[in-house]
Amino acid sequence: MQIFIAKDSGFCEGVSAAFGQAKKYHDIFMLGNLVHNRQVVEKLGEQGIKVIKDIKDIKDGETLLISAHGVAPYIYEEAKKKHLKIIDTTCSWVKRAQKLAKEVIEKGYQLIIIGDKNHPEVKGIKGWSNDKGIVISSEKEGEDIYSRLRNKVGVVAQTTQSDENFNSIVSFLQSKVKDLIVHKTICGATQKRQKAAIDLARKVDVMLIIGDRMSANTKRLTELCAKTGTPAHQIQTKAELKPQFLSGKDKIGITAGASTPDWVIEEVVKILKN
């Protein structure tokens, strides 16, 4: 059996920076998960970083860590009122998407956000548009809403969208909207990971995609690998590795989501080698 690991996989620069920051602190509060990975959140929990779901759940004067996914502006306003100390690990790519969403609205354009409406990053970006952005995740959803669109529309994307989905929605909007501004805010790390995963999937007999099921970018990697026709299995940890995934396969390809830590990838590789 031969094992190949995708050139770009695992922790991206944004997650590495957020995790590196968070590791310096103890007994503080984190609004939502730092990243969508259970092992990372558990590790931070061991050093006393508690996850809260709502800013109301933190007492005045405490320390609040903002995740790599970013938050809406009202969180900063609330934090100020409560005299919280803020540790902001919002990824710079997410900040760029937030800034562009705000700009689109300020220019008097209607905003479309291409992404998953329940994802914290998308909720944050929408917040920067004064909640005026319309979130769609597919061309079909674009067809459902286009009759409500004005002539001036601006587009931004969740940073972890696939190129393919983004391009198909944008092509559809271009055919319907007179004045369309397109901000392709998919981050560089996502693009590199997606390309490396597709390239590898085309060369191997099976792909294993390691990452939490909450992770949007890991889910996208699995979908893209599967589209190449190579069997693709997403596993969260070594515990989900099944013998039938590997039965009759010689070349095993591995990739991992941007929020999957090295130690989880290494455990899977070790089991495969053994």
Q: Binding residues for ligand SF4, per CB under 6 A?
A: 12-15, 68, 91, 93-94, 159-160, 187, 189-190, 217, 258
CB of 90 to ligand SF4, least distance (A): 9
First vs last C-alpha separation in the chain: 11
CB of 191 to ligand SF4, least distance (A): 9
Residue closer to ligand SF4 by CB (options 93, 166) is: 93
Cβ atoms of residues 189 and 164 within 8 Å: no
CB of 121 to ligand SF4, least distance (A): 7
CB of 67 to ligand SF4, least distance (A): 9
CB of 244 to ligand SF4, least distance (A): 31
Residue, CB closest to ligand SF4? 14
Cβ atoms of residues 182 and 208 within 8 Å: no
Among 14, 2, 12, residue whose Cα is nearest residue 196:
12
Tokens 């089991």 — which residue? Answer: 271
> How far apart (Å, rounded) are the C-alpha atoms in residues 43 and 48?
9
Among 2, 6, 1, 42, residue whose Cα is nearest residue 22:
42
Residue closer to ligand SF4 by CB (options 173, 258) is: 258
* Token pair belonging to 248: 């009759």
> How far apart (Å, rounded) are the C-alpha atoms in residues 157 and 116?
10
Residue closer to ligand SF4 by CB (options 8, 180) is: 8
Among 90, 228, 216, residue whose Cα is nearest residue 157:
216
> Torsions phi, psi of 112, nearest 5?
-115, 130
The residues annotated with a catalytic role in the active site are 121
Gyration radius of the chain over CA positions: 20
Residue closer to ligand SF4 by CB (options 216, 232) is: 216
Residue closer to ligand SF4 by CB (options 19, 109) is: 19
Torsion 265-241-208-237 (CA) sign: negative
